[in-house]
Each structure stands twice: as C-alpha cells, then as structure tokens.
Amino acid sequence: MDMPNPVWLQILSQAATLGIVWPSGMTIATLLHHIWRNKITWNITARFLLVGVAGWAFGGFQGATTGVWGLDVYQHNTMALPGHIHFMLLAGALPMAFGVLYAIMPDLTKKHLNKTLGEIHFWGTTVAIFALAFLFTQIGIDGAIRREADMPGAYDWAMPWLLFFALVIGVTQFVFLYNFVKTLKRKPSSIEMQNYEALHKVPQGMGLTQSGR
C-alpha cells in the first residue's frame, strides 16, 4: 500500500496473498476438469459460470502480483488496481450470480426467462466487462495514475472507451431487469408447465416395498 506499514505486517500480508493463490487455483482447475469432455449443455447458465471462472482467474492472479510487496509499490496508485477489482467483481462474481439466477428461475416460478433477451444480456455483459477490466489494467500497467481528478493527457484516448464499455454494462443490466420483471408478470406456458412437472416428477422406487420387507 502507499502508506508506511510495519515490516512484519507487509511480510504477513504478502505470504497470505500468495498462499490464497493455491486453493483458488486448485478450485479453478477442478471446475475446468469437470467441464473438460463432459456432456455439458452450454446454456446461458453454463456460459455465465465459465465467464465467472475466467474473470476469477484473471483477477485472482493479477491480485497475486499486486500482493507482492515490491510490485505493489508501483501498482497500487495506478489504474491496474481498478482493473483487478473489476475482474474479481464484474467479471468474476457477477456472472456467477447471473448464472444462478437463470438456473433457479424455472424452479421458483415455473417460467423461463426470454432466450433472446438473455443472449443480449449475456454477450453485452461479457464483452463489456472484460473489455473494461482489460483496459483499466492496460493503462495501469502503462502508468496511468488513479485517485486523481484529471487523467494525464496521454490516456485521453482510453476515456471514451471506458465510458462506452461502462454504458454497455449498464444498458444490458436494464435488459436483464426488463426480462426478469416481464417473466414474473406473465403466466407460465403449457410447455413450461410440462417441463417443470417432468423435471420434478418423483421417481418410482425400484427396490423393496414396505410390504416386501
């Protein structure tokens, strides 16, 4: 950080930062191994999960570099830090949360969100959040400072793009909100009811019955 800290605290923080990389990396590898050669249906839930894993990986390992004492001296006050945060939250946690919402919606309401609006939401959100986070990281590595009212003129070219990607992220969330509210208000179709009943049908036991024990 950009403030004096005791040496023992800096050493402890660096060790903890690097230590958390191992379980995080193992978790990501485990998820990818489950996906590899699996007969997974690449619906919007599965794709949001994969996007979240990618964001988590990029942001997590970028965070490991900023956790190194010597590197953080140079990176802490640059736009690389917003890049790390946007990878972790916007590209990591948010897509996973959306994946959960798309998955549980049919269970809770017996209705599916509109597929076309869902695709707009997925692609708009995915492309924009990664572009925003990568651009923050790129200009940060190049030396763009943060916590200042005015960005140095050398990075004027990046400002319209950052604004554009941020607006795309915002607009696509309104698309999702419209889709969500519209789905809640309508009645489930006959096909949705059939799918719900088939999915939640209680299987018939094939073992011993009560009388046969």
Would you give the distance in Å from CA 37 to the centre of its chain? 23
Query: What does the alpha-carbon distance between residue 152 and residue 56 come to, in Å, rounded to a whole number?
Result: 30
Query: What does the alpha-carbon distance between residue 185 and residue 45 come to, in Å, rounded to a whole number?
Result: 22
Would you give the distance in Å from CA 162 to the centre of its chain? 18
Per-residue tens of pLDDT for the chain, all 213 residues: 556 778 888 888 888 888 888 888 888 888 888 888 788 888 999 999 999 999 988 988 888 888 887 778 788 889 999 999 999 999 999 999 999 999 999 888 889 999 999 999 999 999 999 999 999 999 998 989 888 778 888 999 999 999 999 999 999 999 999 999 999 999 988 888 888 888 777 666 555 445 444
What the chain holds in terms of domains, given with CATH numbers, is 7-185 (1.20.210.10)
Cβ(176)–Cβ(98) under 8 Å? yes
Tokens of 58: 């990029």
How many degrees, rounded to 5, is the angle at CA 12 between CA 7 and CA 13? Answer: 100
